[in-house]
Structure 1
Amino acid sequence: MGKVIKYVFLIFGMLTLIGFALTGNITHKQFDSEKWKNWSESESEWSLRWDMMNSLRNNHELKGKSKTEIIELLGIPETKNESEFGYYLGMSKRGINTGSLTIKFNEKGIVTYFKVWQG
């Protein structure tokens, strides 16, 4: 019975990934710092930042960067305080969901954690 459950989960997982890929929810748009910084929430670019998130996470090590390096890469955050920057990501292509990228800094101003939120 345990093997059957494993296979069911495996097949379900594969079908889910294929479904996301076919509906465009998993994108491979290359991260472009200038496009990210100059993004505006318009109908033609609603999901631009979402579309670049996989590339940003996979090709740019955010942990360990300073606040200055993050601003050079992503621009001025929409929200910020001493320990956190927040970047609005726009529409997520999943219904009416929007989201944000939250970057947390330690007391020395170095990234220790980041999270993508969707809701």
Structure 2
Amino acid sequence: MNSFKIFSFIVILLFAVSCSEKKDFNSIEWKNWVESEATLHTRWLMHKDLLKKYELKGISKDSILNLLGEPNKQYSDEFYYNLGYSNRSVDSATMIITFENDTVIDIKVSDG
């Protein structure tokens, strides 16, 4: 029974640590990100800091391109940035930036 308690504690501890991972936003690292096994969560972790530190609503499309680089998908009024995998899902996450008159009006994050 004692080994079960120790095992349970370790599992809970690992889960808590993985859920609290943080990574500071870095524009160069964001732009040069290549999805691989070693970097699956890099953009996911950075996007939280990005949204906390930068007021993206109201800035221009050119400013977004300067900050984040070319989107993975682009439609006339939306940029889609692949965030890799969130810690909560087995599906890839996406950040969608919506523009009106070349100005950001909305940011949504879908994690699967």
TM category, shorter: 0.7 to 0.9
* Partner residue, 2:58: 64
| Sequence identity (%) | 38
Query: Partners of 2:92 and 2:19 in 1: how far apart?
Result: 13
Alignment of structure 1 residues 8-47 onto 2, 5 Å: 22-47=16-41
Per the TM alignment, residue 35 of structure 1 is displaced from its structure 2 partner at its CA by 0.4
Query: Partners of 2:66 and 2:24 in 1: how far apart?
Result: 17
Query: Partners of 2:89 and 2:36 in 1: how far apart?
Result: 17
Tell me the C-alpha RMSD between the 2 structures. Answer: 1.8
Asked if the contact 2:85–2:111 (Cα under 8 Å) also holds between the matched residues in 1, the reply is: no
TM-score of the aligned structures, taking structure 1 as reference length: 0.77
Asked if the contact 1:99–1:118 (Cα under 8 Å) also holds between the matched residues in 2, the reply is: yes
Per the TM alignment, residue 51 of structure 1 is displaced from its structure 2 partner at its CA by 0.8
Query: Partners of 1:117 and 1:82 in 2: how far apart?
Result: 20
Query: Partners of 2:53 and 2:39 in 1: how far apart?
Result: 22
Aligned residues: 100
Per the TM alignment, residue 95 of structure 1 is displaced from its structure 2 partner at its CA by 4.3
Query: Partners of 1:71 and 1:102 in 2: how far apart?
Result: 13
